[in-house]
Amino acid sequence: MKVCFLIDNLGSGGAQRQITNVACLMKKQGTDVSFVVYGDADFFLPTLQKENIDVCKVEAESYFDRVRKVRTTLRRSGADVVISFMSVPNMIACMAAIGRKKWKLIISERSCTPSVFGGIKGLVYRIVSVFADCVVCNSKKAAQMWKQFCPHMKSKIEVIYNAVNDAAVYTQPQIKEDEPYRMTVAASFQTVKNPISVVQAVQMLDENNKRKLQLHWFGRFISANGDDSIYRQTAQYIEQNRLQDTVMLHPESTDIFTEMAKSDCVGLFSLYEGLPNVICEAMTVGRPVMMTPVSDHDVLIGAQNGFLCTDTDARSIAEALTAFLQTDRDTLLQMGKMSATKANDLFASDVVLAQWMQVCRKENAK
């Protein structure tokens, strides 16, 4: 079987991480895998090159030129299955499927926000989705959203949770009792990741809890559209409120699992998410997790393995941080073990790969 993956670019985003994980799993299993991209970011390119996965970059002068060239590239790829991730690549893949084709088209929805179906672009997305043979959502919440906005696709919808990178393995904590409680956050600096609310929440903590906490945020400073204003606002707030010893901002890391292993807890504070890779990976590494009520939070997190923020605002985050800082490390260790047990049931590579291969081979829904 030959599978061709389509995504906008190979930057450090969650969708890029996940499509890379799935492609590498298929490659190791013996599937002929290739990529088509049309953007410049290449954070995950070395990972694909290491697995000898070919990447074709489409150069285009306009959106319509891109659609035409991607369509031509996919139709000449010789693929048996085309898998696209994210709404715009999904739309382009659906447009490429118009007319007779010899390949099965699987589009993968990574978002849980209804805005993907809003406006003119959302209307086009809903219309052209009919040319997809299957929609794979990475959360039950996303599947429910698709059934609501695209009832004509109901019989084509599947749910497959994220595959976790093989580099994410259970790691016994090596943290000393007298060290500050360390939290790792891995997210780019953009509004949806909510960094401003997080630093505001830290400022709300009493002085004792501030001294107990070290929050290390790793992420791309500049957003996909070239805007670094959220990073600058976050850094400025930290400086103005003298939080430099409590909140540390770092560039994106290629070794985020090592950073997670150094931590007492891994946090995610987004306004909305698909299934968050960072939470799946943190659970696999064996760490308690803290998250806002996004995606399938009721599946991922419970009192036995983490801390749920009741909302995405600063006060809710501050309350969850306080609960974390008041939990002794023996309890945190047990919570991490529970995370690892859950992760093995939900995200184990062999389980997720088997589900993807089943969808690839499944007869198209009518």
What is the per-residue pLDDT across 51-60, written as a single tens digit (0 to 9) for each?
A: 999 999 999 9
| Domains, the chain, ordered by start | 2-163+348-361 (3.40.50.2000), 181-347 (3.40.50.2000)
- 366 — pLDDT class (breaks 50, 70, 90): very low
Q: Where are the alpha helices (DSSP H) in 9-149?
A: 14-29, 45-50, 63-75, 87-96, 119-128, 140-149
Residue type, 79: A
Q: Are 122 and 116 in contact (CB under 8 A)?
A: yes
Q: Report pTM.
A: 0.76
Question: Tens digit of pLDDT for each residue in 68-118?
Answer: 999 999 999 999 999 999 999 999 999 999 998 999 999 998 887 888 899
Say how far apart CA 238 and CA 230 lie, in whole Å.
Answer: 12
Centroid of chain to Cα 85: 11
Buried b (16+ CB within 10 A) or exposed e, 301-314: beeebbbbbeebeb
Residue type, 358: Q
Say how far apart CA 130 and CA 97 lie, in whole Å.
Answer: 10
